[in-house]
Amino acid sequence: MSTHYGPGDSWPRHQKPWWNEALAEAAPSWIWQLILAADQFIVKRSLPEEPEGRSIIAGYHWFGDWGRDTMIALPGLALTTGRAAVARQILLAFSRYVDGGMLPNNFPDAGGKPEYNTVDAALWYFEAIRQYFAATQDTVTLQKLFPILESMIDAHVRGTRYNIHVDPADGLLYAGGPGLQLTWMDAKVGDWVVTPRTGKPVEINALWINALERMIGITRLLAKPSDAYEKLAAKAKRSFQKFWNAERNCCFDVIDSPGIGNDALLRPNQIFAVSLPASALTAEQQKAVVDVCARHLLTSHGLRSLAPGYTGHYGGSPRDRDAAYHQGTVWGWLLGHFAVAHYRVYHDREAALRFLEPLGRQIYASGLGTLSEIFDGDAPFTPRGCIAQAWTVAEVLRAWTEIKNGEKPAEARSVLSS
């Protein structure tokens, strides 16, 4: 597989990046290779009512198609590469399986019922739809999905599986209970949940606020009442200040956690409160979040999942590996959000792009031509886990394109984020 495709080469129409000529000329060779790598993950998912449905394999060689991974990876794999029709097929295919306001976390390979053990897949669905509409202005699909999106918000307000519900006192989203792992930090060994994060996780509520902002924009666009969403969003945004840990000048990872209260462990989840389009933090707080992540979590290949006192090596028995998975192991997909957040705060395009280059050049190591799932927490950040991971490839592509396009996230407002 060539690592030297560029704007002068002949590209199949479905693979042609959705870029202008100037952006294509500026793309390094590893970006073109990642566009090719994106093809590895998009698969056909035939459904009774959606025979041409599509989905995304989370990683090779042992992951299937998961709701959370699919929605995180969709913009980078499908929209950045100019395949809006594929993005639409994925969004419609998953819409068939919304249940209790939740998106399935995974589809069983041999049939059967999908599982719904995730709090954030549904929230990432809203973000994927926002980016799809921004790229296509496809109002027809938006109208088709609107009743489903409306039911998803309603279900979260009323309460759904796994104690997922909006706390009427502050408008924030609560989730979890004993023995449950509902966020992306979902390692579990037997009955041991390594990072339970029961309560109100910071990234879940950043996503919740953004989902409400999406609904405000959609209802205005479709000339439907928006008052209920405006009230929910205003309350949640005011309450988000409860996440601010003034002592450490960053965000708590989880608040209102049973037996803990506010969890002050330094984790990367707070970066989403800056990288997502709608932030409930002040400009000074956003900068502080980026700075603390840069000082304590940033590596050349992604963000550590914990610091300080983290586990620097991912290896050993299955229990050892699961114990390290979110306790210091570096995750490549988080680097995209860090780079976008850094650009949002510092407005330095070249500095933000430089964060992505070492990970982008990982195409020459491990799974050649693609990007790995995780890396050791300590140098030399040896690749671990899947040799090809969808959201790692996707987030490098998405972040590079967004930053290179020159639109600061705070300014890149479509009607859906107004």
Question: Domains of the chain, with CATH numbers?
Answer: 13-417 (1.50.10.10)
**pLDDT category of residue 110 using cuts at 50, 70 and 90:** low
**pLDDT category of residue 184 using cuts at 50, 70 and 90:** very high
CA separation (Å) from 170 to 18, 157, 237, 317? 41, 12, 9, 42
- Range 97-111 average pLDDT: 83
Instruction: Evaluate if residue 333 carries a pLDDT over 90.
Output: yes
pTM score: 0.92
Please check whether residue 271 is in contact with residue 305, taking contact to mean a CB–CB distance below 8 angstroms: no
**pLDDT number for residue 62:** 85
Total Cβ atoms within 10 A of residue 326: 25
**pLDDT category of residue 27 using cuts at 50, 70 and 90:** confident
* Backbone angle region of 259, left / alpha / beta, with phi > 0 → left and psi within -120 to 50 → alpha: left
The three-state secondary structure class of 109 is coil
Tell me the per-residue pLDDT of 212-267, one tens digit each, with 9 for 90 and over: 999 999 999 999 999 999 999 999 999 999 999 999 999 999 999 999 999 999 99
Query: In terms of Cα–Cα distance, which of 136, 178, 133, 128 is closest to 152?
Result: 128
Residues in the chain: 418
What residues pair up with 254 in beta bridges, in sequence order?
201, 263
Mean pLDDT, the chain, rounded, equals 90
- Residue 131 CB-half CA count within 13 A: 26
Please check whether residue 262 is in contact with residue 245, taking contact to mean a CB–CB distance below 8 angstroms: yes
Residue with tokens 């999942």: 305
**pLDDT number for residue 45:** 78
Between 2 and 334, the higher pLDDT residue: 334
Instruction: Evaluate if residue 9 carries a pLDDT over 60.
Output: no
Please check whether residue 105 is in contact with residue 68, taking contact to mean a CB–CB distance below 8 angstroms: yes
Instruction: Evaluate if residue 345 carries a pLDDT over 50.
Output: yes
Instruction: Evaluate if residue 325 carries a pLDDT over 70.
Output: yes
- Rounded to a whole number of angstroms, the CA Rg of the chain reads 20
Between 9 and 156, the higher pLDDT residue: 156
**pLDDT number for residue 416:** 37
